[in-house]
Amino acid sequence: MTVESGAPLRAAVIGCGVIAHDHLAFLARTSNGRLVGLCDKSAALAQAACDHYAAAPVYTDASAMLANEKPDIVHVLTPPQTHDAIVRQALAAGAHVICEKPMTGTAAETGGLLDAAAAAGRVLVESRNLLFNDPVLSLLETIRAGRLGKVRECDVLLQLDFLAGPFGDTNLAGLGVDLPGGAVHDFLPHLVYLFQELTGTKELKAVHGRLENLSENPRAGFDFLDVLVDAGEARGRLRVATDVEPSAFRVIVRGSQASVETDLYNPFFHYEGPPDIGKRAPLGQMRAGFGLVGAGLANLRNKIGQHGTIHGMGRMLEAVYSAIRLGEAPPITPDDILATARMTDRIVALGAAR
């Protein structure tokens, strides 16, 4: 699986929409890879991306790009319903693949792609950039250090008016995204893999709640999710809402000894636990106040410095590229990907049941 002569990976990008800008920013600065081709149905968008980030041949036909440029790795950044065919095409061309989430609409389809990758002897990774975000890394470190004790609960609560963007733009025809869980499904893998990683669980015992289209916007499919998940040793709440403000991506982890709350849009880190419990709890609250001031200053600095919510993307891609070059297992394994897809399936089924 290692790349000949240790040269940087020859990378190609298929799909030059919004998320491509984060992938291309990584490719413009990494020493682990070199952009050799860009492809989009729109030649103008592909050329714009090329001019912005790095000079590379531009294509509107993925087959032609794969044949001509022979990339070592392909970033599949097209709408989810197109992933299956393009990922298979890239694997057949001998390339490793990084695919944006959700890789497919169902665990069965995702499993099929992972099987195809295994048969081809290539790495197939579904993007989960939030795992590499500063606040999530801090959370994972806190959990690993045992400061929370045994993790019992994890809530991941996203509130974002995504209907104001293409998912809800009724000037455009058809669905915003063609997935069983509608627009919610496009965000859901983030919530599921965060829950799984933070609780150390993979399988669901039960799920209760609602997956609905509260706005009745026909492009959204579904725009609201609120579920309680029971994963045996851990439980939690996953929520996606477009009708509450302000935008927030709150993650709360509660353990047998302590709890932590953070936010991925405007990060802070609020630890409640020993020694500041019981009679010392007010001291903890004062400490939290100072912490909040520090977080505010850091967030201001990050906003000016364009260190945004997707800042983990570069770290994730760097880790994947390094693993491929060294012939090591990637940081996101097929088992991880499949487990997320299965849990997502269970949650999305709530919508189908309606």
Partner 1 sequence: MKVLVTGAGGFLGRAVVVEALAAGHEVLAMHRPASLPEAETVPAGVTVVPGDLRQGGSWRDALGGIDAVIHCAAAASGDLPTQLAGTVLATENLLAALPSGLARFAHVSSFSVYDFAAPNWPAVLDENTPLEPRPLRRDAYTQTKLRQERMVREFCAAKGIPLAVLRPGAIYGPGKHWDYGKALAIGPFDLIFAPLSRMRLIHVRNCAAEIVAALELPEPGETMINLVDDERPTHWGYHHGARGAGAPVGLAVPVPYLAVRALGALAWLASKTFFRGRARLPEWLDLPRQQVRWRPIRYRNALARRLFGKQQVRLSEGLQETVATTLP
For partner 1, the binding residues (CB under 8 A) are 17-18, 21, 42-45, 48, 52, 166, 169-173, 301, 303-306
Token digits of residue 260: 């932590």
- Does residue 199 contact residue 255 with C-beta atoms inside 8 Å? no
Q: Which is nearer to partner 1, 169 or 335 (CB)?
A: 169
Q: How far is the CB of 190 from partner 1 (least distance, A)?
A: 19
Q: Which is nearer to partner 1, 77 or 260 (CB)?
A: 77
Q: How far is the CB of 266 from partner 1 (least distance, A)?
A: 16
Q: How far is the CB of 246 from partner 1 (least distance, A)?
A: 19
Token digits of residue 243: 């009708």
Q: Which is nearer to partner 1, 110 or 242 (CB)?
A: 242
Q: Give which of 344, 321, 342 is closest to 331, Cα–Cα.
A: 321
Q: How far is the CB of 122 from partner 1 (least distance, A)?
A: 29
Q: Which is nearer to partner 1, 58 or 148 (CB)?
A: 58
Q: Which is nearer to partner 1, 7 or 18 (CB)?
A: 18
212, containing H or E segment: strand 206-212
Q: Which is nearer to partner 1, 44 or 92 (CB)?
A: 44
Q: How far is the CB of 129 from partner 1 (least distance, A)?
A: 17
- Does residue 12 contact residue 69 with C-beta atoms inside 8 Å? yes
Rounded alpha-carbon distances, angstroms, from residue 71 to 10, 37, 67, 323, 342: 5, 8, 9, 17, 31
DSSP string, 170-190: TTS-S-SS-STTHHHHHHHHH
The CB density around residue 350, as the number of other CB atoms within 10 Å, is 19
Rounded alpha-carbon distances, angstroms, from residue 44 to 22, 31, 53, 107, 115: 18, 27, 14, 34, 35
Strands 206-212 and 248-255: unpaired
The separation between CA 216 and the C-alpha centre of its own chain, rounded to angstroms, equals 26
Cα Rg for the chain, rounded, in angstroms? 21
Q: Is the peptide bond before 71 cis (omega within 30 degrees of 0)?
A: no
Q: How far is the CB of 330 from partner 1 (least distance, A)?
A: 27
Q: Give which of 5, 7, 8, 9 is closest to 94, Cα–Cα.
A: 9
Q: Which is nearer to partner 1, 170 or 257 (CB)?
A: 170
Q: How far is the CB of 295 from partner 1 (least distance, A)?
A: 18
- Does residue 254 contact residue 220 with C-beta atoms inside 8 Å? no
Q: Which is nearer to partner 1, 160 or 320 (CB)?
A: 160
Q: How far is the CB of 38 from partner 1 (least distance, A)?
A: 14
Q: How far is the CB of 274 from partner 1 (least distance, A)?
A: 37
Q: Which is nearer to partner 1, 17 or 291 (CB)?
A: 17
Query: Sign of dihedral through CA atoms 139, 105, 59, 121?
Result: positive
